[in-house]
């Protein structure tokens, strides 16, 4: 059903924005073609790819760490990536060409995303609540660093994106070149996650069982954190932090399928992530009559999903 919803959601996305377009205007050509094909279509493609990537990232992290509250946002990964991406502008001030910014912006974002993830997981030491608290603390630290850095850089580079972009996400202006990079990252991450889903389920059951099957769980988790951090770094460098999607969508998949295994949740999350973010960003782009960051929408949508998920978890514990 999620894949069936993509065409109407794409039409909705292309119709919304600062200039509302009737569906019959989308393919009429003329002056509208610049808006539709030059601005909105690449943003729609990016939203779908980002939605699937973040949803699968959340499903993988929740499975491997046996923690239903994990996603790249909760662990501080996204906030670290935002700070790393912002540091790339320091190199521009130092004299490096902005034409090659992506070549050093994504690696910087990746390194800081990895640092945030490792710090959070080290604080948590396997405890669900300690990991969440540690993630919140790490996120605050990197968010504060981003705010301070942006306050300095904005005086030197007026064209730098505003704070709301870095911390709350705007999928407004994305190029087809960025779409190609996002497609490579999404395809690689999702294909690997689907292929490795059975091994993830073994690690989720117990580290001892994983060792019996010749899987080194600590190394295996670090490998996946690296892959997720790289994907998150690319996303944040292009559209800022898109929060709560990786937390919400895997729970939606579990409740819909009534199955918590990675073999079921990972592909379902990939299929659900795209339409959920397309719908969220259509709301954020102007359906409410004004434009707001997309994380404002995903955070509101995630609240009832998380409450339902925790309620179901509580019922299982009571039995």
Topology annotation, domain 6-318 = ABC transporter involved in vitamin B12 uptake, BtuC (1.10.3470)
According to DSSP, residue 4 is labeled: T
- pLDDT-wise least confident of 148-157, 200-209, 250-259, 266-275: 148-157
d(CA 49, CA 137): 29
Domains of the chain, residue spans: 6-318
Question: In which band, very low, low, confident or very high, does the pLDDT at 32 lie, cut at 50, 70 and 90?
Answer: confident
- pLDDT-wise least confident of 119-128, 178-187, 254-263, 272-281: 119-128
Which residues, 6 or more positions from 257, have their beta carbon under 8 angstroms from its beta carbon? 264, 265, 268
C-beta of residue 258 within 8 angstroms of C-beta of residue 206: no
pLDDT of amino acid 279:
93
Which residues, 6 or more positions from 235, have their beta carbon under 8 angstroms from its beta carbon? 50, 53, 54, 81, 182, 185, 242
With b for 16 or more beta-carbon neighbours within 10 A and e for fewer, the 290-302 pattern comes to eeebbbbbbbebb
Which residues, 6 or more positions from 164, have their beta carbon under 8 angstroms from its beta carbon? 170, 240, 293
C-beta of residue 29 within 8 angstroms of C-beta of residue 3: no
Whole-structure pTM value: 0.89
Tens of pLDDT along 286-309?
Answer: 777 778 889 989 999 988 888 887
Q: Which of 116, 108, 135 is nearest to 124 (CA)?
A: 135
pLDDT of amino acid 165:
82
d(CA 139, CA 167): 10
Residue 181 structure tokens: 């990079």
């Amino acid at each position: 059903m999620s894949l069936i919803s993509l065409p109407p959601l794409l039409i909705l996305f292309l119709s919304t924005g600062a200039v509302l377009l009737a569906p019959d205007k989308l393919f009429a050509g003329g002056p509208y073609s610049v808006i539709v094909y030059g601005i909105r279509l690449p943003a729609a493609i990016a939203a779908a790819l980002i939605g699937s990537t973040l949803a699968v990232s959340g499903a993988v992290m929740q499975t491997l760490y046996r923690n239903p509250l994990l996603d790249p946002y909760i662990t501080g990964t996204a906030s670290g990536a935002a700070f790393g991406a912002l540091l790339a502008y320091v190199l521009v001030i130092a004299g490096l060409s902005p034409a090659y910014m992506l070549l050093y912006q994504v690696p910087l974002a990746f390194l800081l995303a990895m640092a945030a993830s490792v710090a959070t997981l080290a604080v948590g030491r396997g405890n669900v609540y300690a990991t969440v608290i540690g993630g919140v603390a790490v996120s605050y630290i990197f968010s504060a660093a981003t705010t301070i850095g942006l306050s300095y850089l904005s005086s030197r580079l007026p064209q730098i994106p505003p704070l709301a972009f870095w911390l709350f996400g705007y999928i407004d202006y994305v190029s087809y070149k960025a779409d190609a990079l996002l497609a490579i990252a999404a395809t690689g991450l999702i294909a690997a996650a689907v292929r490795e889903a059975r091994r993830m389920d073994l690690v989720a059951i117990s580290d001892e069982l994983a060792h019996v099957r010749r899987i080194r769980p600590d190394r295996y988790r670090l490998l996946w954190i690296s892959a997720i951090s790289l994907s998150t770094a690319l996303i944040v460098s292009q559209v800022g932090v898109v929060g709560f999607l990786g937390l919400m969508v895997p729970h939606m998949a579990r409740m819909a399928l009534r199955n918590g295994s990675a073999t079921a949740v990972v592909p379902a999350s990939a299929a659900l992530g795209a339409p959920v973010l397309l719908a969220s960003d259509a709301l954020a782009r102007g359906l409410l009559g004004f434009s707001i960051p997309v994380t404002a929408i995903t955070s509101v949508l995630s609240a009832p999903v998380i409450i339902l998920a925790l309620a179901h978890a509580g019922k299982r514990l009571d039995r």
